[in-house]
Every structure is written in structure tokens, then in C-alpha cells.
Structure 1
């Protein structure tokens, strides 16, 4: 089993949860991007990985090259010699993508428990045993994701 999908647009990092006196909530931008990831992943894959399947994930975040840079510097970026060292951080990119592939849950006040609102492509991101995340430059900003069953000797 293998899933590959692309999220168009600049990469977004997961923001910290916001805390008030009465409630803790996820910022709207983070929640929208997680929903976009979930929707894109579900439409690229019909099934769900089994609860006991170890999973390997590759995430490549492509950033747009700044327009003010010279042709020489742009060529270095496209050849992979110059790499992006800007925000969002690589760990925040991986968190938002992996949380976006989880099922969406909501607290049911009558049942006093969490219920699944929308399915994900796996049951929980604790199943991920191999994770490779890269940041690169490209003419077209996007995030490419590949998810497959981890066979132990998996590499890109």
C-alpha cells in the first residue's frame, strides 16, 4: 500500500495551541491547513492503513525562490546547492502534515468522549516508524507527501 499526494501552495508550520482562561484551541490557520492535508490525502487514497501497520512517511516541502535574488543564486537554489533555512521549522512542517493525516475527531458532549468526524489515512501518527523531511526550493511552492507501509529497509 502506498499513498502519494501534493498540497499546492507554500508550506505551513503547525502553530502552538492557544490557551485562554476557559479553553485551549488550535489556531484557525493551522486547523484549515490540517483539513486541507486530510482532504487531499483521503482523495488520493481509498483505504486506511491497518492499526498495527508500521508506516514510513516522506515529506518534501518546496519553498518559492525570492524574486529579488539574482539568476545565479536562483540557479543554485534549483540545483539543490542552496537550501532554505527559513521558517517554518522542519519539525513544525512534519507535525502539521502528520496531524492532518490523522482522523478528525470532535468531543461529543452527550457521550462524553471523542468521536471521529472525518477519517484519516491511518489511525494515529504513532504508527509512523520512519520519517524523512526535506526543505527545498522550487519555482512552484508545494508539499509532496509519500506514505507507505514500513518494511524495515525502506529508503527514498
Structure 2
């Protein structure tokens, strides 16, 4: 079985867990948590069943070109 779905927008990398000194507990940053929930929601809206066992996954991430690189390319053209 093959499942394809697209997540539009800029890809978000998983941030490192944070540590709260007062409670001595680790927690996941909000940006990571909300992006993971978005991916979960998109997958569950597309696929109505769950896989059992191991799966093979292929990801294609398309990032916008960094501003620094764009500036370098523009300066080389002149």
C-alpha cells in the first residue's frame, strides 16, 4: 500500500527538547508540537487506517533559498 500527501508551507525542523529548571522536567517546544499536530491531522484526514509494524517512508522537503545566497548570486551577476 502506498500513501501520498502534501504538506504546504515551509518545512519546520524538530527542535531539541527544553528543560525546565523549576520543575526539573523536559518539554517539547510549542513550534515543534504544533507542526507535529499539523502533520498528524493531515495524515489522519487522508488515511483512514493505521499501519501495523514497520513502514518505509520517503520525504521530499523543498526549502526556499536563503536570503544570504540570493544576495551573493545577485552580486555575482553585476
Corresponding position of 2:29 = 27
Aligned length: 68
| 1-structure distance, mates of 2:66, 2:18 | 31
Larger Rg, first or second structure (1 or 2): 2
> Displacement, 1:66?
4.5
Normalised to the residue count of structure 1, the TM-score between the two structures is 0.40
Q: Which runs of 4+ in 1 moved over 6 A?
A: none
Question: In the alignment, does 2:41 pair up with 1:39?
Answer: yes
RMSD: 1.6
In proportion to residue count, which structure has more strand? 1
| 2-structure distance, mates of 1:19, 1:31 | 15
Which structure carries more relative contact order (alpha carbon 8 Å, separation 6+)?
A: 1
In proportion to residue count, which structure has more helix? 2
Normalised to the residue count of structure 2, the TM-score between the two structures is 0.76
The gaps in structure 2 that reach 5 residues or longer are none
